[in-house]
Amino acid sequence: MPPIILMNDPRVVDIPVHECGEPLVDLRQLPFVDVDERLADQAGAYAQLREGVAWRLARAARLLPEGLRLLVTEGYRPLSLQIKYFEDYAAELRCAHPHWSDEHLHRQTSRSLSPPEVGPHVAGAAVDVTLCTAAGSELDLGTPVNASPEESDGACYTDAARVSAAARRNRRTLSAALATAGLVNYPTEWWHWSYGDRYWAYATSAPTARYGPMTYGVLANGSL
């Protein structure tokens, strides 16, 4: 396997963003897509994605085998929450590995969480998604969504070998639909897929990203 490129890699961070100005849309209005409320916020930001990403997600849902649906756990994530997640995980790793350099700590934290300044969720460009039946029962994909490498012993990696045959099949089913619809996976997290962000640009050799950081309803530069 080729080495995994992490979110903090300069080849990702240095990709320019040419903001296209697409609005966020509510995923709860999409057919064949269920939105889980485990990370729900009062404003409903968790259920939002950029229009172009949402359109591709809806297409992926239609590509699934009969009886299966996409189950979204989180879309857009406010910058303040991304910062909190990143800093909390970094603090957890620092406690377990006090000898790590700051650079190595930043890299290891970036396995599971994007640096806030790069974050695809902060741009409304990324979605955390799994599979469920039409009745709403989640399928086995090997680990819970958002499992860290430490708590899953590396099984959260998309191509991890130590998952059951059923989980591997379900990951292939999910990946086939989302990749065909134009989304790319962050290979340390089987559930994380994106379109239009810097990581997507790197993975597809696009010269620029389409989506930059935004606050809920407003782009980071104050316009929409």
Residue 128 among known ligand-binding residues: yes
Residue 99 among known ligand-binding residues: no
Among residues 19, 22, 74, 189, the one annotated as catalytic is 189
What is the C-alpha separation between 136 and 216, in angstroms, rounded? 28
Q: Is 106 helix (H, G, I), strand (E, B) or coil?
A: helix
Helix, strand and coil content of the chain, in percent to the nearest 5, comes to 35, 15, 50
Q: Is 125 helix (H, G, I), strand (E, B) or coil?
A: coil
What is the C-alpha separation between 154 and 3, in angstroms, rounded? 15
Residue 41 among known ligand-binding residues: no
Instruction: Report whether 199 contacts 120 (CB < 8 A).
Output: yes
Does 51 qualify as catalytic in the annotation? no
Which residues are designated catalytic?
A: 189
Q: Residues annotated as binding site? A: 121, 128, 192
Query: Residues marked as binding for Zn(2+)?
Result: 121, 128, 192
